[in-house]
Amino acid sequence: VKKVWSVRRFVVLLCAPLALVPVLLSLPPKEGRCLYVILLMALYWCTEALPLAVTALLPIVLFPFLGILPSNKVCPQYFLDTNFLFLSGLIMASAIEEWNLHRRIALRVLMLVGVQPARLILGMMLTTSFLSMWLSNTASTAMMLPIANAILKSLFGEKDTSKDMNRENEENQASLQQNKLYTVPTEMQFLASTEDKDLTEEKEVASDAVSDLKKEEEYKTNIWKGFLISIPYAASIGGTATLTGTAPNLILLGQLKSYFPECDVVNFGSWFMFAFPLMLIFLLLGWLWISILYGGINLRGWRTKKSNIRVDAEARAREVIKEDYQKLGPTKFAEQAIFFLFCMFAIMLFSRDPKFIPGWASFFAPGFISDAVTGIAIVIVLFFFPSQKPSFKWWFDLKAPNTETQPLLTWRKAQETVPWNIILLLGGGFAMAKGCEESGLSVWIGGRLHPLEGVPPPVAVILITIVIALFTEFASNTATIIIFLPVLAELAIRLKVNPLYLMIPGTIGCSYAFMLPVSTPPNSIAFSSGHLMVKDMARTGLLMNLMGVLLLSLAMNTWAKSIFQLGTFPAWANIHAENATSLLTAVENVTLSAL
């Protein structure tokens, strides 16, 4: 299999550049060359013929060679202030993971919500989504799945034993028929009647016991699936709530600054005000859907009395959670310090410029303080703040040992845990957007969108979200939004609507990939546990996708309008539209003269 995949990768690497040559010949020179690079990168991203981060480096080589952009304009795109905002979030997440603060938060939440399956699923989803707002979706899923597995094993025992139990039941039934005797399976002996009952009663009890055992086994399997499938879904939903939660959000911010430099309505605070309520609503509806589908909530049996098996299992699960929490020991000084700095990180980002009131950045020169400045300022403290409670007596005790104090986070640890490839991937997206703008390709694309000018904007939002949500089921979220955002910006100009009205749904729609294991890394991690099938994700994810599309459309047409001023065509977009019109006229003149 590896050899076949290596051959296919080699074929894609060699054939893709040749297959795209007609693109160079069918468009104006500069636009054609830029489109050639973008299609080549999109093909490499979708097929993963090269690592995603390596593909993101292609503009550094191809843009200067093809005369699209000089290198002194391409290279700075890889370290914009948006990249540093994302880097600050990754370093903060690294410090949280270093001192197990995320695990303490997760176990504490689970202790509060209770151990009934529906409540546990809700606790898992709330915890995972909260962590995913600050950590990566993949890290949140990877941390929560072992906790879920431990709880499930305490509730139901080892999942693999189900086959053995079924096999044992079949053997019991065969022996009963041969010997014309009726006994009860060992798992359900507590249901058996006393030995002095007659044979007819024993038959009835045996039949009821086998039926109950099958129901219990089916219930166990469904709950197990519900637990495992809820975690990656919650991670994907939670990542949309903050700008630093997932890469597509930051790509939107970076490309807005590239296409519309005067646009200042999207920052950490305004995004949080819009996306956090959307996340909560979607999370609640997703929990209801998963709980109903997999038996966590039984609509027919709210008043049904629990069996002794379930009562004992829930007690064991409660003990497992409590025991894991106790293993963490008392709260350390380092955890308290990390939690304080984490709160400062979130509060300062939110209050910098919340739009509805003046933020603390208004005390400084306008345009000098960005979210990146705020994030990096807090993160720097992690590298010198002590991880152990300092003793003021040390300063006055001349005999005290001069030992070095470990900081909350060392640079070596940050190097090992921060996914630097994502920084390059973001940079590749920003470089691609800059190439589209400078070459005039985005204007050329806008000129080909005439058939869509008659589409009502609310319908356009729904169609865009559906298309992108389907596309991202098979391609990387980051690659998807890098490809689609320039098109959405030009489409908004054509429709004469606020560009954010189309670009924000496209960005969030990239995170709504629920139907396939390959859609996102969290889905793949959950699927690799071996307890889920593709059809489980497909039937659960289909309704999740539909709910996401409808909720996103609702949000964009209600509270998002007041937050981002979506009801008017803004001046910063109007300037871009005027420039685009003049460039489009020039492009058409060049094309006609060439003909």
- Flag whether pLDDT at 200 surpasses 60: no
Q: What integer pLDDT is reported at residue 493 of this predicted model?
A: 86
Please report how the helices 58-65 and 29-47 are oriented relative to each other, as an axis angle in degrees rounded to 10: 160
Give the pLDDT mean for 218-244. Answer: 89
The helix/strand count (H/E) of the chain reads as 27, 0
Read off the DSSP letter of residue 451: G
User: Rounded to an integer, what distance in angstroms lies between the CA atom of residue 595 and that of residue 589?
Assistant: 10
Task: State whether the Cα torsion 40-52-255-561 is positive or negative.
Answer: positive
- Flag whether pLDDT at 212 surpasses 70: no
* Residue 92: both structure tokens together: 């903060």
Greater model confidence, 190 or 490: 490
Query: Could you read off the pLDDT of 470-483 as tens digits, one per residue?
Result: 888 887 788 788 88
Least confident residue range of 8-17, 228-237, 265-274, 355-364 = 8-17
Phi, psi (deg, nearest 5) at residue 178: -70, -45
Query: Could you read off the pLDDT of 156-187 as tens digits, one per residue?
Result: 665 543 444 444 344 444 443 444 333 333 33
Q: What integer pLDDT is reported at residue 8 of this predicted model?
A: 66
∠ CA 440-444-450 to the nearest 5 degrees?
150
Highest mean pLDDT among 37-46, 53-62, 167-176, 441-450 belongs to 53-62
Contacts 24+ apart (CB under 8 A), 27-31: 27/444, 28/440, 28/444, 28/587, 28/590, 28/591, 28/594, 30/67, 30/68, 30/439, 30/440, 30/441, 31/439, 31/440, 31/441, 31/444, 31/587
Q: Is 516 helix (H, G, I), strand (E, B) or coil?
A: coil
- Flag whether pLDDT at 230 surpasses 60: yes
Query: Could you read off the pLDDT of 384-418 as tens digits, one per residue?
Result: 998 888 776 666 666 666 667 789 999 999 998 88
Q: What integer pLDDT is reported at residue 236 of this predicted model?
A: 93
- Flag whether pLDDT at 524 surpasses 80: yes
Q: What integer pLDDT is reported at residue 176 of this predicted model?
A: 36
Q: Taking the CA of residue 291 as centre, how many other CA atoms within 13 Å lie in the half-sphere pointing to its CB?
A: 20
Amino acid identity at 318: R
User: Rounded to an integer, what distance in angstroms lies between the CA atom of residue 257 and that of residue 224?
Assistant: 45
Q: What integer pLDDT is reported at residue 518 of this predicted model?
A: 77
pLDDT band of residue 457 (cuts 50, 70, 90) is confident
Least confident residue range of 299-308, 406-415, 527-536 = 299-308
Q: What integer pLDDT is reported at residue 218 of this predicted model?
A: 77
Read off the DSSP letter of residue 204: H
Phi, psi (deg, nearest 5) at residue 386: -70, 145
Greater model confidence, 311 or 430: 430
Amino acid identity at 440: G
Integer distance in angstroms from the first to the last C-alpha of the chain?
Answer: 50
- Within 10 Å of residue 221's Cβ, how many Cβ atoms? 16
Highest mean pLDDT among 39-53, 130-144, 180-194, 335-349 belongs to 335-349
- Within 10 Å of residue 112's Cβ, how many Cβ atoms? 10
Q: What integer pLDDT is reported at residue 512 of this predicted model?
A: 92
Q: What integer pLDDT is reported at residue 595 of this predicted model?
A: 41
- Flag whether pLDDT at 190 surpasses 70: no
CB 313 within 8 A of CB 253: no
Measuring CA to CA, which residue among 88, 80, 128, 24 is closest to residue 431? 80
The per-residue pLDDT of the chain, averaged, comes to: 80
Greater model confidence, 376 or 164: 376
- Flag whether pLDDT at 276 surpasses 90: yes
- Flag whether pLDDT at 129 surpasses 80: yes
Query: Could you read off the pLDDT of 311-344 as tens digits, one per residue?
Result: 777 777 788 888 888 888 899 999 999 999 999 9
pLDDT band of residue 588 (cuts 50, 70, 90) is very low
CB 216 within 8 A of CB 192: no
Query: Could you read off the pLDDT of 20-30 as tens digits, one per residue?
Result: 778 777 777 78
- Within 10 Å of residue 248's Cβ, how many Cβ atoms? 29
- Flag whether pLDDT at 505 surpasses 90: yes
Give the pLDDT mean for 497-501. Answer: 92
189's CB contacts (< 8 A; 6+ apart) are none
pTM surpassing 0.85?
no
Q: What integer pLDDT is reported at residue 194 of this predicted model?
A: 40
Phi, psi (deg, nearest 5) at residue 354: -75, -5
Query: Could you read off the pLDDT of 70-105 as tens digits, one per residue?
Result: 999 999 989 888 889 888 888 988 898 888 888 888
- Dihedral (Cα; 492, 493, 495, 501), 10-degree rounding: 30
pLDDT band of residue 151 (cuts 50, 70, 90) is confident
Q: What integer pLDDT is reported at residue 177 of this predicted model?
A: 45
Length reported for the chain: 595
Burial class (CB in 10 A: 0-12, 13-18, 19+), 368: exposed
